[in-house]
Amino acid sequence: MHKFPDIPIVEIGPGSQATVEDEGLDYMAMPSEMDTYHQPILPEPEDTANLDAGKRKLAELLDAMRAWQNDHQTRAVGLDGLDAANLDFVNQALGEGEVSVACDGPSPIRAQESVLAGVWRVQHFDANERIVRDGIEIGDVPDIVRNTAFAGADTALDIACDTDDPGLQNAPAVLVELADRIAAYHPGDALHAVNLSLLPLSDSDIMLIGERLGVGPVTMLSRGYGNCRIGSTARRNTWWIKYFNSQDGLILNTIEVVDVPPVARAAPEDIADSIERLDEILELYR
């Protein structure tokens, strides 16, 4: 007679399986820290007798901030005439905020938001990384973001795909959607976002989308809850934005069709608060 194989005995019923409490929950680590405003550490008034030029420059900055209007036009305050001590005093007062901007090219530009939201420290460099222009700008973003990010960028997006590539899943549909939105976009239109994190995308999909969009000259990093890294592409008004948690794990991956991503912009209310804060700083030296 044929002998049946042994059947393993497996416990079933309540208490036979590991519980959630036994295993523990394996949550993705979410951002846990946020940068907040801290008034910069400044010298005592009695130690600033030789820093009148720096004080005047900060007063000039305050006037420019009050004159700023929410029309996407920045106001500029030059710093080229200050000596090292006065420039250091201005730098101390401004501090370093959440958003930094880099524009690559033959003449690189770097911008750093100060602790005063909407106040940007902007430096222009030559090919040898020497500073050729140094100043401050007031605005939702520094000029280089609007003036440089898509200079020479194309609105046409190649959507042709190799349908025989077994690795492609959703890239063709994403490219068609982006091509339509990029071609139709006009400054001031509402943002259109493609959330790549919600789509089943293969490595081949991501590589093809990246290849077709290309890489632009402007990169922004916004620090708050984790990091947000924003890169211009070679297609007009198109940004690739990645959000990371505090362990540098990717938690959101999006492409946005918009002139400037809202996450990178200082709001008018932020600049109004910055006016009050700079006025408080200057009050120490009046």
The string of pLDDT tens digits covering residues 85-132 is 999 999 999 999 989 999 998 899 999 999 999 999 999 999 999 999
Helix (H) or strand (E) run with residue 256 in it: strand 250-257
| For residues 75-84, average pLDDT | 94
What the block records as the tokens of 29 is 């680590």
**Residue 105 region, left (φ>0) first, then alpha (ψ -120 to 50), else beta?**
left
Q: How far apart are CA 64 and CA 204, in angstroms?
A: 49
What's residue 134's pLDDT?
Answer: 95
Q: How far apart are CA 70 and CA 265, in angstroms?
A: 12
Domain 1-30+141-265 matches domain 45-120+130-137+267-283 at the CATH topology level: yes
1-30+141-265 folds as Ribosomal Protein S8; Chain: A, domain 1 (3.30.1370)
Q: What is the DSSP string of 36-67?
A: ---PPP---GGG-TT-HHHHHHHHHHHHHHHH
What the block records as the tokens of 147 is 């003036």
What the block records as the tokens of 84 is 């090292």
The percentage of the chain sitting over the pLDDT mark of 90, rounded to a whole number, equals: 70
What's residue 7's pLDDT?
Answer: 42
Q: How far is CA 256 from CA 26, 213, 232, in A?
A: 31, 12, 10
Residue spans of the domains in the chain: they are 1-30+141-265, 45-120+130-137+267-283
Strands 218-224 and 192-195: unpaired
Q: What CATH architecture does domain 45-120+130-137+267-283 belong to? A: 2-Layer Sandwich (3.30)
46 Cβ contact list (under 8 Å, min separation 6): none
For tokens 């959330």, what's the residue? 195
- Written as one letter, the residue type at 202 is S
pTM for this entry: 0.81
What's residue 57's pLDDT?
Answer: 97
